[in-house]
Amino acid sequence: MFKGDWIARRLVIDPLFKGRSTVKKFIIYGLISISLIVADYQFDQMQRIRGWLSLAVTPVQWLVDVPQRSWTWLDERLQVRDELIAENKQLRAQTLLAERRVQKLAALTVENFRLRDLLNSSEQLDEKVIVSELIGINSDPFTHQVIINNGFNSGAFVGQPVLDATGVMGQITSTSAFTSRVLLITDADHAIPVQVNRNGLRSVAYGLGQYDYLELQDLSDTADIEVGDILVSSGLGLRFPKGYPVAKVIEVKHSAGQDFAKVLAKPTAQLDRSRHLLLIETPQQQNIALQGDN
Amino acid sequence: MVVQAAHNLWVPIVTLLIAFMLSALPMLEWVQWGWPEWVLIVFIYWVIALPHRFGLGWAFILGLLLDLLQGNHLGVNALAMVVVTFFAMLMYRRLRMYRAWQQAFVIFVLVAINQCISYWFQGIGSNASSGLWFLLPAPVSGVLWLWLFVVLRGVRRAFKVA
């Protein structure tokens, strides 16, 4: 008796299978699924279809976020007066510090503009910022993605860089009307062009699928990079604006016989904690997005 | 069998919705690795209990929704759900007769198949590598089944789902 025998018998005996319709259905649905996967890998148009289909699961995403939102709401209302006063004081102090820096920054910006004028550089420093809130994170550990509450209705577009208060978080990979999906820089599919802030050394930081690490794979063994170096976005690739902190080098491994050094860096953004995010829009960026649409 | 006017099909749909919410809950990274495949095992229960109502079409749609929810490549979970549901449909009678721990073992194997399919198709062209940890939800789902089966059977009887 061969293995397929009981399946065959089941198909004959079992009225539920009505002949072989289940097998037929199985083959048909299987083929549809496989062609969907292939299409999703191959064609860019799938992005837009996915954007509209995602509306179907938006209510689930909102529902899942309800406990967290109500907890924050309760927490804000139940905080004791003393705590609020203390927090207020602390925030005032922080604002003061920040203001001092901003004053300095204003002077530097003006100076920068003047110097750029001297150089006849056309590069602009102004960027539009949208503040967005996280409404869900992906529950699948293989893909590092978060969902935010801005969709194309409020100006988010595919390819838009996303930051938090401390560094680059990622970029938008799909938008629907009211939500967008952000691919984090630590996702195994993601790479971001960076440079070492100290000396301008350029490289690319790859995600490894772990929240704490990025890897630089293409630095020669003799490259000038040290533990503690800050990596900032280099602006090459025209996706991320230049000069935002991305990661801090935590390990440089030289091994004899290898052409490339192994460099690990820890993202400066709080990828698994931040709840308020900034969507950056540079004029240059928007042009690219528009071209991509056509 | 008495033919009933109302099949109370909204009950399975509500349980599936809850499963979707559970699968999308944010949590610690190490918990995520072992988080059971809620939608899959709840759906397998309904396939075993009511195979004349829940079949491959449902599996396909639920898989697509799961793909959208998790931001996977479209069709990855749909394929995995269709394959697993097909196996479940082939042996739903045996499964009904099995003891709880035997069922749990079958669930373990089915979820493992699901994990392999979704991991392989999702991983095409990315540099993720973390050993065999992606199989962790399979044993967890198997153990969870022992409890879930009792709960869902209670729900089915209480609401007379047919």
The answer to whether residue A77 sits within a structural domain is: no
Number of structural domains in chain B: 1
Going by pLDDT thresholds of 50, 70 and 90, the confidence category of residue B71 is confident
The answer to whether residue B130 sits within a structural domain is: yes
Percent helix, percent strand, percent coil in chain A, to nearest 5: 40, 25, 35
pLDDT for the residue numbered B142: 93
pLDDT for the residue numbered B12: 92
The answer to whether residue A32 sits within a structural domain is: yes
The answer to whether residue A263 sits within a structural domain is: yes
DSSP H helices in chain A:
5-13, 21-42, 46-53, 58-78, 81-119, 283-293
The answer to whether residue B61 sits within a structural domain is: yes
% of chain B surpassing 70 pLDDT: 90
pLDDT for the residue numbered A248: 93
pLDDT for the residue numbered A83: 85
Provide the sign of the torsion angle of the four alpha carbons B40, B31, A189, B113, taken in this order.
negative
Contact of A61 with chain B, judged by CB distance below 8 Å, is answered with yes
The answer to whether residue A63 sits within a structural domain is: no
Question: Tens of pLDDT along B118-138?
Answer: 888 877 756 555 677 788 889
**Per-residue pLDDT tens listing for chain A (294 residues):** 445 566 655 555 555 555 468 888 899 999 999 999 888 888 878 877 888 888 888 888 888 778 777 887 887 788 778 888 888 888 988 888 888 888 778 778 877 777 777 766 555 556 778 888 888 777 677 788 888 888 888 888 888 999 888 889 999 988 888 888 899 999 888 999 999 988 889 999 999 888 888 999 888 888 889 999 999 998 888 888 888 889 999 999 888 888 888 899 999 988 887 778 888 887 665 555 555 443
pLDDT for the residue numbered A1: 44
Residue A11 lies in domain = 5-42
pLDDT for the residue numbered A9: 59
The answer to whether residue B2 sits within a structural domain is: no
**CATH number of the structural domain spanning residue A233:** 2.40.10.350
Task: Name the β-bridge partners of A182.
Answer: A146, A172
Question: The pTM is what?
Answer: 0.65
pLDDT for the residue numbered A42: 84
Residues of B in contact with A57 (CB under 8 A): 20, 65, 68-69
The alpha carbon of residue B146 is apart from the nearest alpha carbon of chain A, in Å, by: 23
> d(Cα B103, Cα B91) in Å, to the nearest integer?
11
Residue B56 has pLDDT above 60, yes or no: yes
Structural contact between residues A232 and A195, judged by C-beta atoms closer than 8 angstroms:
yes
Q: What is the DSSP letter of A17?
A: G
Structural contact between residues A271 and A256, judged by C-beta atoms closer than 8 angstroms:
no
The answer to whether residue B102 sits within a structural domain is: yes
Residue B42 has pLDDT above 90, yes or no: yes
Going by pLDDT thresholds of 50, 70 and 90, the confidence category of residue B1 is very low
Secondary structure E strands in A209-244: 214-216, 230-233
> d(Cα A36, Cα A34) in Å, to the nearest integer?
5
Q: B76-90 vs B100-122: helix axis angle to the nearest 10?
A: 150
The answer to whether residue B3 sits within a structural domain is: no
Helix, strand or coil for residue B14? Answer: helix
Number of structural domains in chain A: 2
Q: Return the residue matching tokens 């009887």.
A: B157
Residues B8-34 as b or e (16 or more Cβ within 10 Å = b): eeebbeebbbebbbebbbbeeeeebbe
Question: A162 — alpha (psi -120 to 50), left (phi > 0) or beta?
Answer: beta
Taking only residues 84 to 143 of chain B, the set having a beta carbon closer than 8 angstroms to any beta carbon of chain A reads: 86, 89-90, 119, 121-130, 134
Taking only residues 17 to 56 of chain B, the set having a beta carbon closer than 8 angstroms to any beta carbon of chain A reads: 17, 20-21, 23-27, 29, 32-33, 35, 51-52, 55-56
Residues of B in contact with A29 (CB under 8 A): 56-57, 59-60, 78, 82
Q: Which of B35, B83, B126 to mutate to test the interface with A (most CBs of A within 10 A)?
A: B126
Question: A245 — alpha (psi -120 to 50), left (phi > 0) or beta?
Answer: beta
Structural contact between residues B123 and B83, judged by C-beta atoms closer than 8 angstroms:
no
The alpha carbon of A156 is separated from its chain's Cα centroid by a whole number of angstroms, namely: 13
Q: B137-159 vs B100-122: helix axis angle to the nearest 10?
A: 120
Residue B61 has pLDDT above 90, yes or no: yes
Q: Between chains, do B68 and A53 touch, taking CB under 8 Å as contact?
A: yes
CA neighbor of B46 nearest in space, from B74, B77, B4, B14: B14
The answer to whether residue B38 sits within a structural domain is: yes
The alpha carbon of residue A88 is apart from the nearest alpha carbon of chain B, in Å, by: 30
The alpha carbon of residue B147 is apart from the nearest alpha carbon of chain A, in Å, by: 22
Query: What stretch of H or E contains A137?
Result: strand A128-137
Structural contact between residues A258 and A219, judged by C-beta atoms closer than 8 angstroms:
no
Mean pLDDT within B20-25:
84
pLDDT for the residue numbered B6: 67
Structural contact between residues A127 and A241, judged by C-beta atoms closer than 8 angstroms:
yes
Q: Report the residue count for chain B.
A: 162
The answer to whether residue A28 sits within a structural domain is: yes
The answer to whether residue A50 sits within a structural domain is: no
Q: Between chains, do A29 and B78 touch, taking CB under 8 Å as contact?
A: yes
Helices vs strands, H then E, count in chain B: 8, 0
Query: What stretch of H or E contains A211?
Result: none
Q: Return the residue matching tokens 């009225």.
A: A15
Q: What is the ipTM of this complex?
A: 0.84
Structural contact between residues A176 and A58, judged by C-beta atoms closer than 8 angstroms:
yes
Q: Between chains, do A46 and B55 touch, taking CB under 8 Å as contact?
A: no
Residue B28 lies in domain = 10-159
The alpha carbon of residue A60 is apart from the nearest alpha carbon of chain B, in Å, by: 6
Who wins on pLDDT, B32 or B96? B96
The answer to whether residue A62 sits within a structural domain is: no
The answer to whether residue A183 sits within a structural domain is: no
